[in-house]
């Protein structure tokens, strides 16, 4: 597909999840998001609420991050607090051990607990850490997310040693949810060509920390 940098920016959750982030970093992220025209900013829950102007830019945060090895109650509690502090979207990490053990009903149950804490029209994204899963496990995790009422499935936290997003995983996730859910590609997307490849594979949202660099790559390529 042909896409301009301004159009691609509207796919982007402009992300800052560094453990060392301080309030000034969030303020700078917000200002850059407005300047670049991204869809949202994605920040750690401890950095909420955002107290600077964002215009039309949404606020996303995370729960159960980055390991997913939290109880469903803990994840739901995090999500309730995040919503109370102004989050429009919550990206939750599933317990990968449940998926690896084939306990997909339990995966669905924990996602549902967070879905109940993030009621529509607020947006729930489910991080499945696709690089750590087999294809069959990716499909099963996506099906559990859909059954629990999630709005998106998301490839990665960007913190797992197995890696981040891949075109293969995005395409498989997109085929599994069939347009009924969005697909967010996140983790390791650092240039224009990779970002466009993810969209071509079926991503409907991108998690980027180096958004300005990615968009500059599109402009320098004549898009």
Catalytically annotated residues: 91, 154, 184
Give the number of C-alpha atoms closer than 13 A to the C-alpha of residue 52, restricted to the C-beta side: 14
Q: Which among 112, 92, 75, 221 has a CA at the least distance from the CA of 157?
A: 92
* Phi, psi for 154 (deg, rounded to 5): -130, 140
Determine whether 66 is exposed, middle or buried from the number of CB atoms within 10 Å of its CB (0-12, 13-18, 19+).
Answer: middle
**If you search the block for the tokens 């945060």, which residue do you land on?**
61
Longest CA pairwise span in the chain (Å): 49
Q: Return all residues near 176 (Cβ < 8 A) that are at least 6 apart.
A: 138, 139, 142, 143, 153
**If you search the block for the tokens 């629990």, which residue do you land on?**
148
């Amino acid at each position: 597909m042909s896409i301009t940098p301004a159009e691609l920016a509207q796919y982007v959750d402009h992300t800052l999840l560094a453990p060392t982030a301080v309030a000034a970093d969030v303020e700078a992220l917000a200002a850059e998001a407005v300047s670049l025209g991204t869809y949202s900013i994605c920040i750690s829950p401890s950095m909420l609420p955002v107290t600077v102007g964002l215009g039309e830019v949404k606020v996303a945060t995370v729960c159960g991050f980055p390991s997913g090895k939290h109880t469903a109650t803990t994840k739901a509690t995090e999500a309730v607090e995040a919503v109370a502090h102004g989050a429009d979207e919550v990206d939750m990490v599933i317990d990968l051990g449940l998926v690896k053990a084939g306990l997909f009903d339990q995966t669905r149950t924990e996602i549902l607990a967070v879905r109940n804490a993030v009621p529509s029209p607020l947006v729930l994204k489910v991080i499945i850490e696709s690089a750590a899963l087999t294809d069959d496990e990716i499909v099963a995790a996506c099906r559990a997310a859909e059954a629990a009422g999630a709005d998106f499935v998301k490839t990665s936290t960007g913190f797992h040693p197995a890696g981040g997003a891949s075109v293969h995983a995005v395409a498989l996730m997109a085929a599994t949810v069939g347009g009924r859910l969005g697909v967010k590609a996140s983790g390791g997307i650092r240039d224009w060509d990779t970002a466009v490849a993810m969209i071509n594979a079926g991503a409907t949202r991108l998690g980027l920390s180096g958004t300005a660099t990615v968009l500059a790559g599109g402009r320098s390529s004549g898009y």
